[in-house]
Amino acid sequence: MKVTLAGFNIDSNLIEKLPEDTIATPETISAAYARISRDPRDVPELRKEAREQVKKARRSNKAIVFGMSHHSVAEHAYFNFDILQISRLALEELEARRIGAAYTEKSQRYITLNGDFVVPKEFSDEDIVKFEELVGFQNKFYLDNLDKLTRYQFYNNPELAEQARSAEEKGTSNKMNRAKNTLEGWAKEDARYALSLATQAQLGMSFNARTLEHAIRTMRHSQLEECRKLSQKLYDVTKEIAPSLIILTDPDEFKKAFKVKLQDDNFKSTRSNLKKYVKELIEKYYSELHEDLPNILIEEHEQLILESNIDRNITTAVIHNNSKLSIEDSYRIACVILADEERGKSFFTEILKYISAFDPLPR
């Protein structure tokens, strides 16, 4: 057995110190690994060739990842981002991706906030005045009550409080006083609920190229201007580093490479269409919930999934994820819809109508 470390993340400031003629890109790893299944050469040799012929590696990526739809190859390339001055609302949309992603936020539990917030671009001048007044009130409430909540935690947790005082008397620094930090953390955790989702956040984030591409395409059509701006910034800082792995984020480059227009309707319309369509289904069929709910759904969810019809499971999931219905009522409506074959075909045609050859199915 032989194990070779083929690559690892390093700080971009170190990469900038490389000789000027060095093209440092994760595309070469993806290109080399994409050839493993069909090229008889050993992997190190494939990597060497990709490093020495970056343009060829990029052409290879475009052909394999997008021409052959082997998107998983893009998952070998990783990017790290520092993201600052983002609202918690935009952060929620950004962090909707869990596969191929890692996030570490500056915690509202461990850090005392100083009141920084993001003003939505969508607001009128009149709205901004009201908004800033409200956020100011919330921030004041946070700061005014943080001390009270801290005293409350010390009072209600005497054992931990004694440990904190004892450590302080021994000269332990605040940073290393675990008991004190725990009590103050609980207070901050409670106080943060007074703050709005406009509160500024910052994080370190890592995406593989496939997840990055999905994030850029999805947020480009967000209802929130801040997310659309974030999408553009993510694209701007990576487009020169790995253009062959995020080509679906650039309609012009895609058309140059494949001679066809990039179909982006899925990212523009699928989410809103699903919610609208499911709402119509509920209004139409809710009164027809004549299917008896199987006991197995209540007693053994996993067994139901193993034994029941996969189309019914998918229909249930789509309804449940795009409405406020319980899983039980979603299951009942799925039964009603699929009781008629044509009605079932119509359902799947509608939920997939914006999907192109390059798009993942709705989850």
Give 64's Cβ-side CA count (13 Å radius): 20
Helix, strand, coil shares, percent, the chain, to 5: 60, 5, 30
Domain ranges across the chain: 12-76, 79-107+199-241, 125-194, 265-351
Distance, in Å, from the CA atom of 363 to the CA atom of 347, rounded to the nearest integer, reads 15
- Of 6-10, 186-190, 286-290, 299-303, the range with the lowest mean pLDDT is 299-303
Q: Is the pLDDT of residue 300 over 70?
A: no
Angle between helix 158-169 and helix 125-156 axes, rounded to 10 deg: 90
Beta strands in the chain (DSSP E): 78-87, 101-105, 200-208
Distance, in Å, from the CA atom of 72 to the CA atom of 249, rounded to the nearest integer, reads 16
Q: Is the pLDDT of residue 291 over 60?
A: no
Q: Is the pLDDT of residue 226 over 90?
A: yes
Q: What is the pLDDT of residue 102?
A: 95
Residues in contact with 283: Cβ distance below 8 Å, sequence separation at least 6, in sequence order: none
CA–CA distances in Å: residue 307 to residues 139, 255, 297, 298, 316: 53, 45, 11, 14, 15
Q: In the predicted model, what is the mean pLDDT of residues 257-268?
A: 86
Tell me the pLDDT band of 7, cut-offs 50, 70 and 90: confident
Residues in contact with 53: Cβ distance below 8 Å, sequence separation at least 6, in sequence order: none
Q: What is the pLDDT of residue 305?
A: 56
Distance, in Å, from the CA atom of 250 to the CA atom of 234, rounded to the nearest integer, reads 12
Q: Is the pLDDT of residue 348 over 80?
A: yes
- Of 11-20, 120-129, 138-147, 305-314, the range with the lowest mean pLDDT is 305-314
- Of 218-227, 237-246, 279-288, 354-363, the range with the lowest mean pLDDT is 354-363
Distance, in Å, from the CA atom of 128 to the CA atom of 120, rounded to the nearest integer, reads 8
Residue 97 tokens read as 């991706």
- Of 52-66, 100-114, 187-201, the range with the lowest mean pLDDT is 100-114
Kindly report the length of the chain. 363
Tell me the pLDDT band of 304, cut-offs 50, 70 and 90: low
Q: What is the pLDDT of residue 290?
A: 54
Count of CB atoms situated within 10 Å of the CB of 76: 21
Q: What is the pLDDT of residue 14?
A: 87
Beta strands in 197-287 (DSSP E): 200-208
Q: Is 26 helix (H, G, I), strand (E, B) or coil?
A: coil
Q: Is the pLDDT of residue 6 over 80?
A: yes
User: Contact at 8 Å (CB) between 206 and 98?
Assistant: no
